[in-house]
Every structure is written in C-alpha cells, then in structure tokens.
Structure 1
Amino acid sequence: MLLRLLLFVLMLTPAGALSQSRAEVETQFRAWLETTVWPRARARAVSRATFDRAFASTRLDWSLPDLRPPGSDADVPTLQRQSEFGAPARYFRRGALDGATSVGRQMARRHAAALTRAERATGVPGRIILAIWGRESGYGRAAIPHDAFRTLGTLGFMGRRAAYFTDELIAALQIAQAGHAPSAAMKTSAAGALGQPQFMPSSFMKYAADGNGDGHADIWRSEADTIASIANYLARHGWVSGRDWGFEVTVPASVSCAREGPDRGRPIAEWEALGIRRVSGRPFPGHERAGEGYLLMPAGRHGPAFLVTPNFYVLKDYNMSDLYALFVGHVGDRIAFGSGDFDAPWGAVGRMTRSDIATIQRALERMGLDTGGIDGLPGFRTRRAIGRWQENTGRRATCFPTPSMAAALK
C-alpha cells in the first residue's frame, strides 16, 4: 500500500518540482565551468592560471534572485510581495539629495585634477561625473560585497538570462587576465555590475579608462580611473559638449502634457514661443535656444516639468530611467551651482501597485493608444497615452496614473 501511495504521489508531482540536491547542482556547476566556460575563456586568451585563480574556491551563490537550477522548471524560492510603484517623489528624498550633494562637493575639491582632465578629454562636466559616481556607489563608499566570478558564474549557470551572464563572465575573466585589478578585488553588485561606476563587464571592456596613467583601469580602487571611465562612457554615448542636460520650466495649460517625449523634440525657441518658461525667470541661454529640446513631465501635471536636451538621454543610457537621469542632472547642479530644490513640488498621487498601472496600460492599449508596453511602469509613452485618453474623454489631462483611474479602466 505504501509503495502504491508513493507511486501515485510521484505521478501527480510536476517533473520540475523534483529538484536535485544542492551538492549535485554544485557538481554540475564545476563541470559546466570546465566544459563550457573554460574553452570559451581560452579562446579569448585567458590563461589557465587566471581561470583557476578566479574559480579556486567558487561555489554557487544561492541567495541571488531569479535562479533556476538545471533540470527544474521552478525558481529557487525567494520572498515574494506585491510590487508597489515608487512615486517620483521617493527618488528625491531629502537625505539622498543632501548626502549626494555635500559629499560630491568634497570630492570635487579632492579630485579636482582628475575631474579637470576628464572634462578636457571628453567634454563631460565634472559635476555630472560626480553625480553619477555618487548615485552608483556613494563615491566609492557603498559596500560592493559580491565576488565577480561567483556572482556571474551563478547567474550564467542557472539565472534566467543565462546566456547573457555567461558572456559577461567571459568578459570578467578577460578583465582579470589584463591585470586591471586582482581577482580578489573584483567585486560586483548582486546583478554583476563592477566597481565604483557599476559597469557590467562588457561595458568595462568598451568604456573603462586609465585616469592615473598606470596602464590599468582599476574601477574598484582608483578614483581617477573611476572618474575617467564615467566620463568616457558618457562621451562615447554622445554627450554634446557645451550643452546643458535641461531646465526646470513652467508649462501653461495651453500646452498639452501629451506633447512629452524624446520623439517630440523641437528647437527650444519654439517651446518658448508656446509659452514655456524657465522657473528661474532667466531666459534660455542663446546657444541652447536653437538646439533641440524635449518636454519631460515625469509626474505629469503632479510635479515639476522640464525641457531637456539630448544630453539628458545620454544620462539615460547609463540607467534607463527618467528619474535616474533627472536625479543625476539635479545633483550635479546642486554640487556646482548651489542649486536648491525643484521649484514645483512633487504632488501626492496615491498608493498604487505595478499591477494597477499594468491594468491601465492594458486598457489604453485596447483603445489603440501606445503605452510602450505593459510593464507596470509609467514611462513617457504611458503618461502620454493617459493624457490622450483624458483629452479624448473630456477629462483634465494630467498625464499620470492614479488609483481612481485604474478602477475606472478595469
């Protein structure tokens, strides 16, 4: 009877739920390193000595998210919770702004020579380099605790994006082979991003720079190399020397918030002709008026508005978030010019989950409005679609999701 019961349970149990022991998976991981990673590394001129140093005592990191062991269709269990949408105001907390600004000013004085060299070489202002450095690693003060080879090896072996992380692991081995830093110093985030600028290994290979002239790009221990690397990244992504990142503005009611977006650019002088003004009351700089500008309203009518330049979207290349790029530009201005808070406050928009926003996006897509995808994030296309729907239905256009909107569109 017991045997029959066991066979019955096994028949009802999904195959992926019968997981191997961790010891068995660790054995497969070591085999994978030898049969898959080592041949690829050797083909990229990585020596056996470098390979062995990197993985001498490496074991899988089971604490990382989104792991799926071989032969299983189930993820390693992690704590799950309903994901709440982070309203824009949260990104600009007082402590984060003041800390990034005050330490940034100290770093501006301490590393003035390296910042000047980087700005002369690339055209990227030192204040922007500092703001990114501060955001990514607290000017090198934030803990970056993960071993690069353990993290990337784990994600390459049993992460959801295994092929991508295997490529990144090979790049990390090339970095170690080149001697930019000892293997033990090559620390990453839980997502595999390296050092103080938080470059993925493939980005390191393309953009890391030697800022102190020692022949290496040590973005873990060298502030000069970190500064030079951030500047080189932005320059290689198209930073336009001489142009600012953007300006806080007032947008009159006659200008629809649905005009927002990088695909709706026009000369700043034309935006000015529509009634858009700098909140400072000063005119737009003459050399900026002829250049293209883009309306940015990250909280719709519930927060500050901006005219941004192509350089804003270069900042987004570093981290694909409007709020990230805005934080960097704003902190850079605070460091260099003593700028205060944005003139317009961030309005309260109510507590929402990403699933609420996804509900709104689905409804708008059914109406033929482009939201840029159903991801639970109110990017510019979603904000613009909301504005179009509001205008089409006789509502006041705010171009931002609210809890009541989610209920109305269900």
Structure 2
Amino acid sequence: MTLKAACLALILALAAAAAPAQDRAAVERQFRGWLEQVVWPRAAEQGVTRATFERAFDGVRLNWELPDLVPPGTTPQTPKRQRQAEFGAPGKYFNRGSVDGATATGREMARRHAGTLAAVERTTGVPGRIILAIWGRESGYGRVAIPHDVFEVLGTKGFMSTRAGYFTDELVAALQIAEAGHAPERAMKSSWAGALGQPQFMPSNFLAYAADGDGDGRADIWRSEADTIASIGHYLARHGWVPGRDWGFEVTVPGTVSCALEGPDQGRPIRAWEALGIARVGGKAFPEHERDGEGFLLMPAGRNGPAFIVTPNFYVLKDYNMSDLYALFVGHVGDRIQYGMGDFSAGWGAVGGLYRSDVAAMQRALEAQGHDVGGADGLAGFKTRRSIGRWQQAQGMPATCFPEAAMKSALSR
C-alpha cells in the first residue's frame, strides 16, 4: 500500500470511529432541547421552580449504558441477552445467598422493629413478614448502595427509551420531590430504573404512598426505617391487600391437571383445586378459612419447577414489581422469616438461559396462531407459559409450559 493510500485509509478509519461520537453529541443537544421544551413546562405547571430544575440537571448527561434505550432515528430492538434472572433460568432468582441473607437480616429487623411492624400491621392488615421481605429484596434493608443520579436515569429514559412517556412522568414527579425538599441533600440516587430510597419507590409512588412511621411529620424513605416500613405497608394496603389471607401455598400438581390452567384470570375456589387432585406439599391441609377463597395456579417454570396455589394477595405483591418470581421471593422469604420454613419442596429444573430475542420469536409465532402471549417482549410470563402449554397439547405433546430451544424451529414450521 502506498503512503497516500495508507493515509487515506487512516482518515477513513478515524472518520468512522468519530461518527458515533458525533452522533451522540447531536443527540445530547437534542436532549437539552427536550428538557427545555417538554420537561420544563410540565415541571413548572407542577410548581417546580427554575432554580430546582437547573440544580437537578446541572452536569447531567445521557447515560448510554442503561437498558432498553431507543436513540432518535433508531427502532426498538428486542434485547438478545438477559439482564435479570427472571428473564432466564427461574431458579437463579432464588440463589442461596439472596434467600439466606434476606432471611437472616429480616429476622434481626423483625426483633428490632417489632413495635413498628405490629402497628403497621394493625392499621394496614399487611403482615410484618411481607413488609420485611420486600424491604430486604429492594435494598437489603437499606444496606445496599444506590448508585445512579435519578435525574440522569429518568432524563435518559424519558428522552429515549421504550417507555419514554412513563419515564417522563416519573421525571416530573422526581422534580416535585426535589422541590418539596422531601429527600435529604444529595440523596436523589436511584436504581437503573429510577426507583428511590429503601423501599425503592418510583417517584410517583413516593408522592402517592410514602407514609410517616415515626411520627415526626415527614415521610423519609431514605433515612427512617420506621417510615420505610410504614410506606411499604401503606402501598400494599392501597393496592388491595386482603387482611387475613395468605399469599399462597406450594402444591403438587398431578399430570391430569394441565399447566395451561395457570393465571390470574383462571381462578377458582381453593377447594375446587383440591377436588382436581392438587394438594399442599408435605401432606399439610389448606387452612380452612382459605378453602372457600379464590386461588390461582402458578407454575413459574412450567412443569420444570415448584408449583403454587396463590391468593389475590400474590397479585398485590406483583403490583410492587411485575414479576412472578419477585412476588414469589417475597412470599417465600417472609415465610422463612416468621415461620422458619425451608426451601421449596420441588427443585428448579435446568431451563431458561435463552436469549430474549429467541423467546420473542416464539411469542410472535404463537401470536400468529391466535394465542395471547401478553406481547412479544421476550419474557416468559404466565400468558406465554400457558400458550406454550396449549400449543404443546394441540400438537399431541406433553405440556411443559415453558420455552425451550427446540420450540423455536418447531413453531416456525
């Protein structure tokens, strides 16, 4: 290669390398314009002052490392890789360290805050063990560092993410929190999704549900453990927690009962599930006061893991975090804290580990056949699991109700 050709190749390579940086610089300028033209007028309508607005965004830039971003001029893509355990192998969500750590510290917190937990249970009907398990899962009882600037996270996701409208609303709510001075100085740190404080409330949830548990006239979810406990209890009560009912029970499901009967829209009295042959593990009876109440089949790994009959309270837990495994973790750890229960009777099978894009391809194929999978998002929720079971049954196959690698080619035929 001649010197001239080599120089030309170097110039072209440098230009190609610089292009993404130039594009990002242009997007950053669009971001600043969006803050001024969209966010500031909305914030001002909610009583946010210009000084608060400018402090919030002083030095804030787009965070390109956050998930589910859709920069201007691009189209949304189903992520290939998993980012959370519930997107892959369900059993990973119940790893030994997470379960044992949340249980052990939860028992310590149960002793330390017995009075507050009892008071909150009296006023909300939510058991203390459930509040403790959520607190442990969300922030390690306030011990886990929360790394991100909430205005960077919500600004980025409000400007360019798959749920931009939702995150823009949350950004305005975060500005309202800053304006009112609810958070201690420099405490507006969040998760990668924009959740705040020890209970990891989204900003709008803080405005709606944060509660004063220590009687000082403030709802401080950053520094006050009593306020954190009261706020979680208040949230669950307002979302419909039914006092006196449990969250659910591990069960055995005979082969004569289809896993495609799963879901909150296929409930029946617990005694009707019993009549089908479903029984609590270990030979235990269902509590008599629960047997006439509605129950729902839950099989988060299909036939490849533990099964449960859950109550409406399970779906209240899902209002806190829309994951079956999250709600199951909370119920399970709560039971371990209070009752000393051990692991689930059934083990988790070696399933999962697929790319979200592979699961999304299966979902689109099922949709084309008329199944309601809850959206082709690459996540194996209950609608996807039971749709797989129904498809398997229609093919004369044993229903497992969980995505497997071989299904992708079979579904595309």
Give the TM-score, by structure 2 length.
0.87
Change in CA separation of 1:249 and 1:160 when aligned onto 2, cut-off 3 Å: closer
In structure 1, the residue matched to 2:135 is 133
Change in CA separation of 1:25 and 1:404 when aligned onto 2, cut-off 3 Å: closer
Task: Look up the equivalent residue of 1:407 and give its one-letter code.
Answer: S
Do residues 391 (structure 1) and 388 (structure 2) align?
no
40-49 vs 134-143, which deviates more?
A: 40-49
Describe the superposition over 1:7-51 as per-residue Cα deviations: whole angstroms up to 9, x where unpaired: xx9xxx9xx9794563x6656655554454333323222234433
Q: Secondary structure in 1 aligned to 2:217?
A: coil
Residue of structure 1 aligned with 2:222, choices 217, 220, 223: 220
Q: Distance in 2 between matches of 1:360 and 1:33?
A: 39
Q: Secondary structure in 1 aligned to 2:325?
A: helix
Within 5 Å, give how 1:338-357 maps onto structure 2. Answer: 338-349=340-351, 351-357=353-359
Q: Distance in 2 between matches of 1:306 and 1:254?
A: 16
Number of aligned residues: 393
Describe the superposition over 1:220-252 as per-residue Cα deviations: whole angstroms up to 9, x where unpaired: 111111111111111111000000000001111
In structure 2, the residue matched to 1:308 is 310
308-317 vs 53-62, which deviates more?
A: 53-62
165-174 vs 205-214, which deviates more?
A: 165-174
Q: Distance in 2 between matches of 1:30 and 1:178?
A: 24
**Following TM superposition, where does structure 1 have runs of at least 4 consecutive aligned residues deviating by more than 6 angstroms?**
none
Describe the superposition over 1:85-138 as per-residue Cα deviations: whole angstroms up to 9, x where unpaired: 511111111111111111111111122222112111110111111111111111
Q: Distance in 2 between matches of 1:407 and 1:20?
A: 38
In structure 1, the residue matched to 2:274 is 272
Q: Distance in 2 between matches of 1:68 and 1:91?
A: 28
Contact 1:187/1:220 (8 A) holds in 2: no
Task: Look up the equivalent residue of 2:249 and give its one-letter code.
Answer: F
Contact 2:336/2:342 (8 A) holds in 1: yes
Contact 1:151/1:192 (8 A) holds in 2: yes
In structure 2, the residue matched to 1:165 is 167
Higher RCO structure (Cα 8 Å, ≥6 apart): 2
In structure 1, the residue matched to 2:297 is 295
Q: Distance in 1 between matches of 2:64 and 2:149?
A: 13
In structure 2, the residue matched to 1:51 is 53
Please list every run of 5 or more consecutive structure 1 residues that lacks an aligned counterpart in the other structure.
none
Describe the superposition over 1:252-300 as per-residue Cα deviations: whole angstroms up to 9, x where unpaired: 1221211111111011011111111110312111110010000111111
- How large is the Cα RMSD of the aligned pairs? 2.8
Change in CA separation of 1:153 and 1:270 when aligned onto 2, cut-off 3 Å: same
Do residues 93 (structure 1) and 57 (structure 2) align?
no
In structure 1, the residue matched to 2:73 is 73
Task: Look up the equivalent residue of 2:329 and give its one-letter code.
Answer: F
In structure 2, the residue matched to 1:362 is 364
Task: Look up the equivalent residue of 1:269 and give its one-letter code.
Answer: R
Change in CA separation of 1:110 and 1:159 when aligned onto 2, cut-off 3 Å: same
Change in CA separation of 1:163 and 1:119 when aligned onto 2, cut-off 3 Å: same
How many percent identity over aligned positions?
A: 70
Q: Distance in 2 between matches of 1:65 and 1:363?
A: 25
Q: Distance in 2 between matches of 1:27 and 1:369?
A: 43
In structure 1, the residue matched to 2:4 is none
In structure 1, the residue matched to 2:402 is 400
Do residues 197 (structure 1) and 199 (structure 2) align?
yes
Give the TM-score, by structure 1 length.
0.87
Task: Look up the equivalent residue of 1:97 and give its one-letter code.
Answer: V
In structure 2, the residue matched to 1:326 is 328
Q: Secondary structure in 2 aligned to 1:307?
A: strand
Q: Distance in 2 between matches of 1:351 and 1:74?
A: 27
